[in-house]
Amino acid sequence: MENNYVNHNFGLKGKVAMVTGGNSGIGKGIALGLAQAGADLFIYTHSNRGVEEMRQEVEALGVKIAFGQGNLDEEADAMGAVEKCVEAYGKIDILVNNAGTIHRAPLLEGDNDAWKKVIDLNLNSIYYISKVAGKYMAEQGSGKIINIASMLSFQGGKFVPSYTASKHGVAGLTKAFANELAEKNIQINAIAPGYIETANTAPIRADEKRNSEILGRIPAARWGQPEDLAAAAVFLASNASNYMNGHILAVDGGWLVR
């Protein structure tokens, strides 16, 4: 009885999940969690880094995996990414907008081209991809879109104005899409990771003073791992979240409540 309940509410067997930037870091942790719950994967990335290793890991779980490659900071590639998923599997049930970048520089020394690149990848691509995916999901009468927000969806931060602006925008787009698509049985929510050990946070972790300050504020007293986000993603991708719309779910070890 328990297994039937779990499988019905949290199982993803027969679902197709597209994860952007899903071959490393947070994206890979989430993608593997979805695969462990039974979903077939379509990973869209700008590079082939770690692709074969990931293929072996996923196929060992007994599910399928396919890949697409392009530059999501370019409108044409972003608009065509979902089409490649549908070509591979015939549908898309779950979209995880994970791909992103960061540029660190003091506000008064910031580079305008870097600003544009961060906004294009972190925010504009989500609008383009979600719009296309939403049309397919509306036609089939169901779908899940999971955006990756940030602690800087709530805070201002320092030296990362483009990243902060983009992640505030991600939270806004999540709510805006949810308001329009909920009636079509499409749930759009976001995960706001706390401080997670990834390539993006390597410079901070290497700064002994900054690293100590961060750990001192996290009640869990540790940096998060990409795998810590997997269960939240499975929940938001599953039937268990069918009455949840426009929510920004913090997975942060308690950072925001400190």
- The whole-number pLDDT of residue 1 equals 47
Question: If we measure between CA atoms, which residue out of 20, 83, 74, 26 comes closest to residue 223?
Answer: 26
The rounded distance, in Å, linking the Cα atoms of 256 and 106 is 24
Instruction: Read off the pLDDT of residues 140-170 as tens digits, 9 standing for 90 and up.
Output: 999 999 999 999 999 999 999 999 999 999 9
Q: Which tokens hold the place of 29?
A: 């942790």
* Mean pLDDT calculated for residue range 241-247: 98
pTM of the full structure: 0.95
Three-class DSSP category at 112: helix
pLDDT over 90 (residue 6): no
Give residue-wise pLDDT tens across range 7-43. Answer: 889 999 999 999 999 999 999 999 999 999 999 999 9
Instruction: Report whether 13 contacts 62 (CB < 8 A).
Output: no
- What pLDDT, on the 0 to 100 scale, is given for residue 255? 97
List of domains in the chain: 2-253 (3.40.50.720)
Measure the CA angle with vertex 148, ends 144 and 149; round to 5°. 125
pLDDT, mean of residues 171-177: 98
pLDDT category at 82 given cuts 50, 70, 90 is: very high
- Secondary structure in 3-state letters for 22-81: CCCHHHHHHHHHHHHCCCEEEEEECCCCCHHHHHHHHHCCCCCEEEEECCCCCHHHHHHH
For the chain, give the percent of residues with pLDDT over 70. 99
Strand 65-69 versus strand 143-148 pairing type = unpaired
pLDDT surpassing 70 at residue 200: yes
Q: What pLDDT is recorded for position 199?
A: 83
Active site residues: 163
Partners of 191 in the β-ladder? 148, 249
